[in-house]
A and B are shown apart, each in its own frame.
Chain A
């Protein structure tokens, strides 16, 4: 999500037509080469990137606004989007259990710790799972540097996942059916009420732009579920990219408990163009690029940061990836998709990550990200 001032550079109609044409052509090419489903999924990813960047809908920034300035609009918009998805996803999951799956994962010690660390790291680089992709695609150099380390961290976190879950993990709890939906909506309403109450009097309004974005993100998330059979996610795909690179370099992943599992080995051997989260991730980067170029927003100068900020970016990138695997997802896979498909771990993730964000917001100044 862009953070600099709005650009003033005018972009020609031809350039804009080219941007749209190339994006559609790439989706069509994937559909022809890999299959229609994968072309659709890439288009959904492009939609996510366009909406997130175009309407400046994010996760890390609104949490920061709530913590520092008690501005609740962005966080309330997130809760609205989650509620909208839940209203559709709960009945779909209940009536199509074989074809669709929710983002259901167990709560555990490592899961809670991972979410807490993720909350810290996402405030350091001001980018969460989706935000790092969006920011990189729109030319944010901090996110571009963090992204490969995010992917490496995701690979390593998955590689060690069973060691962490063995520290203590409860059975998976997933709310379902009408009672599950009503309970989820009631909890979201209660959380929104607390957020509204804690907000400053002038920070309680959700801007029209964010309401529109919440509806659009919800629609895309539902499409993602309907087309791919699984909820929107980010971090699995990033770890997979590194797993494929490690495998290509000659390493044998078959002995690893996570990557050596049958389904994951198959994903490592098959093309990224048949992996759901890889396709949406690629689409998000490309969609954000399209919007940034469309606006003429690529003229902004790159920031000059001290060395300790770049070191912190690398460490935060690794932490984002590693911790999100222990937490069974990032703000997208755990918070957004977990809660909207009934998983208890999504709620626990939110609490732990928000506490981590409170600390992360304060660490930004210490590490030289702010002057």
Chain B
């Protein structure tokens, strides 16, 4: 009988495929150009994207 073990591992597997494919095809990671560890107090504007943000706002 199929159990949640199958689907839970499938979820992890699919997530791993997404991440590994991305690592192979995206711009290389460079930890030396990463933003400061904590945004608060960094003096830098936030650079992330959020679902509430509309481009051009």
Contact = CB atoms under 8 A, between A and B. Distances in A.
Interface of A: 31-38, 40, 92, 96, 98-106, 136-141, 144, 147-148, 161, 165, 172, 225-231, 233-236, 240-241, 244, 248, 257-258, 261-264, 267, 269-277, 282, 285-286, 289, 292-293, 297-302, 324-325, 328-330, 333-334, 337-338, 343, 345
A292 B45 contact: no
Interface string B13-57: 011001101110111010100111111111111111111111111
Contacts of B1: 301
Given A32-B31, A271-B29, A99 B39 contact: yes
A226 B46 CA distance: 11
Contact of A273 (B6, B23, B50): B23
Nearest to A272: B22
A138 B12 CA distance: 10
Given A36-B37, A264-B49, A271-B29, A293 B8 contact: yes
A302 B2 contact: yes
B29 A139 contact: no
Given A276-B48, A300-B3, 19 more contacts: A32-B31, A98-B45, A99-B45, A99-B46, A137-B12, A139-B5, A141-B7, A144-B7, A144-B11, A172-B57, A227-B37, A229-B40, A234-B51, A275-B48, A275-B49, A285-B12, A289-B12, A330-B51, A333-B51
Contact of A99 (B37, B42, B50): B42
A233 B8 contact: no
B51 A226 contact: no
Contact of B50 (A236, A258, A292): A236
Nearest to B4: A139
| Residue with the highest number of chain A CB atoms closer than 10 Å, among B3, B15, B45 | B15
B31 A261 contact: no
B34 A37 contact: yes
User: For the complex, would chain A's binding face be called helix, strand, loop or mixed by DSSP majority?
Assistant: helix
Contacts of A234: 51
Contacts of A257: 55
B50 A233 contact: yes
Nearest to A95: B40
Contact of A328 (B3, B5, B35, B52): B52
A363 to B, nearest CB: 24
Contacts of B4: 138-141, 292, 297-302
Contacts of A338: 52
Contacts of A271: 22-23, 26-27, 29
A368 B27 CA distance: 45
Contacts of B44: 98-99
B39 to A, nearest CB: 3
9 contacts: A35-B37, A36-B34, A37-B38, A103-B50, A248-B21, A258-B55, A275-B48, A293-B8, A328-B52
A261 B3 CA distance: 43
Contacts of B40: 92, 96, 99-100, 225-227, 229
B50 A226 contact: no
A173 to B, nearest CB: 13
Nearest to B42: A99
Contacts of A102: 52
A105 B2 contact: no
Contact of B2 (A264, A297, A301, A337): A301
B3 A301 contact: yes
Contacts of A227: 37-40
Contacts of A236: 49-51, 53
A334 B52 CA distance: 7
Contact of B55 (A263, A328, A337): A263
